[in-house]
Amino acid sequence: MTAGGFDGVERRGLMFVLSSPSGAGKTTLSRMLLEREPGLKMSVSATTRAMRPGEVEGRDYFFVDKPKFEKMVDQGELLEWATVFDNLYGTPRAPVEAALSAGQDVLFDIDWQGTQQLHQKASVDVVRVFILPPSAADLEKRLHTRAQDSDEVIRGRMSRATHELSHWAEYDYIVVNQNVDDAFAEVQSILKAERLKRERRTGLTEFVRKLQRQLEK
């Protein structure tokens, strides 16, 4: 244990969800969190899509065929799942449960539908953060700056953003990403505060009882 013992109290891990419209900065913030926050790892999804060059089984995805994926759904082995461009994606329950029990936090980069499913199945462990752009013009500028998509694709992303934004009130925290460093500081503060919540600190009851016994001597 650390000085005084208090900081060493055991803790159950949490599921930290970042969602945002495409281009609002979710991927950048996720990468910064993984680089700078010990004890946080990315959730690895199962998918029916083919493995791409450079991808590694178990690191990027768990690659399964459609019958296997459907069996996982039927047997309740997925915390959330969705169909994206004719492929199935989902979060296997077992690795996440193992991580949480070991006090490890798991980062999720999922949309509002996946977040709803996750919250329905494990609400006490889920922290939901929605990232907003400072303006529609800024979002469109960022999408163009990435130079990854055609104008038609960008218009489609802007249209979807309107629908995604309608679910903002379903999240626990809202962060406006006007400056990425400021937004990261806010997201990091949320994670740190949630880690300290009394109900997550599984060893706290015994720690307090021990303290009480010491005081009674």
pLDDT of residue 1: 35
Contact 117, 80 (CB under 8 A): yes
The answer to whether the Cα torsion of 166, 171, 174, 179 is positive or negative is negative
- 91 among the known binding-site residues? no
Structure tokens at 23: 């281009």
The amino acid that residue 54 corresponds to is: G
- 166 among the known binding-site residues? no
Long-range Cβ contacts of 51-54 (<8 Å, 24+ apart): none
- 53 among the known binding-site residues? no
Give the number of residues written for the chain: 217
User: Per-residue pLDDT for the chain (217 aa), expressed as one digit of tens each?
Assistant: 333 345 567 899 999 999 998 888 899 999 999 999 989 999 999 999 999 999 999 999 999 999 999 999 999 999 999 998 789 999 999 999 999 999 999 999 888 999 999 999 999 999 999 999 988 888 877 777 765 667 777 777 777 888 889 999 999 999 999 999 999 999 999 999 999 999 999 889 899 999 999 999 8
Residue 174 DSSP one-character state: E
- 21 among the known binding-site residues? yes
DSSP 26-95: HHHHHHHHHHH-TTEEEPPEEESSPPPTT--BTTTEEE--HHHHHHHHHTT-EEEEEEETTEEEEEEHHH
Rg (C-alpha) for the chain, rounded Å, is: 20
- 161 among the known binding-site residues? no
- 24 among the known binding-site residues? yes
Q: Which of 102, 103, 117, 101 is nearest to 45 (CA)?
A: 117
CA 155 to chain centroid, in Å, comes to 26
- 23 among the known binding-site residues? yes
Give the domain 7-197 fold.
Rossmann fold (3.40.50)
- 30 among the known binding-site residues? no
